[in-house]
Amino acid sequence: MVDYGGWDMPVEYSGITDEHMAVRTRPGLCDVSHMGEIELAGPDALQTIQRLTCNDASRLAIGQIQYSALTTPDGTFVDDILVYRLADEHYMLVVNATTTPKDYAWLSSHAAEQGGDVSLVNASARYALIALQGPAAAEILSGLTTVDLSAIKYYWFATGEVASVRATISRTGYTGEDGFEIFVQPAQADRVWQALLEAGASHDIKPCGLGARDTLRLEAGMRLYGNDMDETVTVVEAGLGWIVGWQKPEFLGAERLRAQKAAGAARKLVAFEMLERAIARHGHAVMEQDAVVGQVTSGTQTPFLRKAIGLANVPIALSPIGSELDIDIRGRRAKARVVPEPFYKRPRPA
């Protein structure tokens, strides 16, 4: 068990490789209750979100979800978030565990500055969150709910019951696999967890810890706040220009992001594959001769693709696909190559 933002969390149950493979081929179950939830309600809730996040939340229908970021005036990340539209004037932001207090303070102070009619609640203690991920996720969950799961598209959610417990069922995840994230009251989380384990037993379901969650998300090319980006990296530099609502009116950081989009950023987060038998990890330096020019932000050996891969923050000159990176791994240089993202894309049903 490790301390993760004040939560005691398992790094692994049966082993990272075993858990990773379960999610890629069957189902895995991950307790992600550490994620924070912040709700905004009121006539000016949308306006507040529009001003403080980079994606265009006005495009969300009720029941729809969007990947976005809370941005600083410099266009960098306060956090990366999911925005849920719960009702007409009611939204929920799902935020990272370690950043929940910071995000809530940031939202509160900026909402107060704007002076609109919006109420903010840090609702994190009201929700446990269980992620059921893998090709058999829908089949397993359908036995425990009357909600028509086939009607929930990717990045949409529905409310109903799971194992007779009131739940919000969200077709989202952090693994690159099909699956659901299920919000329930903390007091009932254990019941739902056990029911899912039982229902998944015939598919050899595996509980998954933080370790597999990290290798899965990296294989899928998903960023981790605090590793791959933070308050020093802009949304464009992180390679996430697609989560910017370029057409929407002003928001915090818009000016810098627009300038970077027009002129090109000086740095970029890129995906790489090792060309030698070595694993580059978070914090290792990208070198040009004797100068440090960049940094590995995430890196591991992936259990499914069986390759050493990672993400690195590099100067734009080193960012084109095929560029060779020279990485200092504990004093030894090893070569890597910039590759297209994501590393892994799940096969679409025919």
Partner 1 sequence: MYPTTLKYTKDHEWVKLDDAEAAVGITDFAQGQLGDVVFVELPEVGRQVKQGEMFGTIESVKAVSELFAPISGQVTAVNPELGVHPEQINAKPHDAWMIKIKPSMPAEADALLDADAYATLIK
Shortest Å, Cβ 215 to partner 1: 6
CA–CA gap between residue 272 and residue 310 (Å, rounded)? 5
**What angle do the packed helices 45-52 and 100-114 form, to 10 degrees?**
110
Tell me the closest approach of the beta carbon of residue 277 to partner 1, in angstroms.
Answer: 6
> How many of the other CB atoms lie within 10 Å of CB of 62?
11
Could you tell me if 173 and 181 are in contact, meaning their C-beta atoms sit under 8 angstroms apart? yes
Which range touches partner 1 (CB under 8 A), out of 163-171, 235-243, 296-304, 340-348? Answer: 296-304
Instruction: Rule CB under 8 A: say whether 211 interacts with partner 1.
Output: yes
Encoded amino acid at 99, one letter:
T
Contact between 25 and partner 1 per CB under 8 A:
no
From the list 53, 145, 170, 301, which residue makes contact with partner 1 (rule: CB under 8 A)? 301
In one letter, which amino acid is 250? E
Are the C-beta atoms of 128 and 115 separated by less than 8 Å?
Answer: no
3-state secondary structure of 328: strand
Check: CB of residue 33 under 8 Å from CB of residue 109: no
Q: Closest approach of Cβ 203 to partner 1, in Å?
A: 22
CA distance linking residue 199 with residue 137, whole number of Å: 10
Asked if 86 interacts with partner 1 (CB under 8 A), we say no
Q: Which of 248, 281, 337, 346 binds partner 1 (CB under 8 A)?
A: 281
Q: Does 277 interact with partner 1 (rule: CB under 8 A)? A: yes
Min CB(329)–partner 1 separation in Å: 9
Check residue 303 for interaction with partner 1 (CB under 8 A): yes
x/- mask, partner 1, residues 214-253, rule CB under 8 A, reads -x--------------------------------------
Single-letter amino acid, residue 319: S
Alpha-carbon distance values, 136 to 141, 181, 204, 234 (Å): 9, 14, 10, 36
Could you tell me the smallest distance in angstroms from the CB atom of residue 15 to partner 1? 6
348 binds partner 1 (CB under 8 A): no
Indicate the helix (H) or strand (E) that contains 317.
none
Task: Decide if residue 299 touches partner 1 (CB under 8 A).
Answer: no
- Cis? peptide before 342, omega within 30° of 0: yes
* Interface with partner 1 (CB under 8 A), residue from 32, 111, 165, 278: 278
Query: Contact with partner 1 (CB under 8 A): which of 68, 168, 234, 300?
Result: 300
List contacts with partner 1 (CB under 8 A).
Answer: 11-12, 15-17, 211, 215, 277-279, 281, 300-301, 303, 330
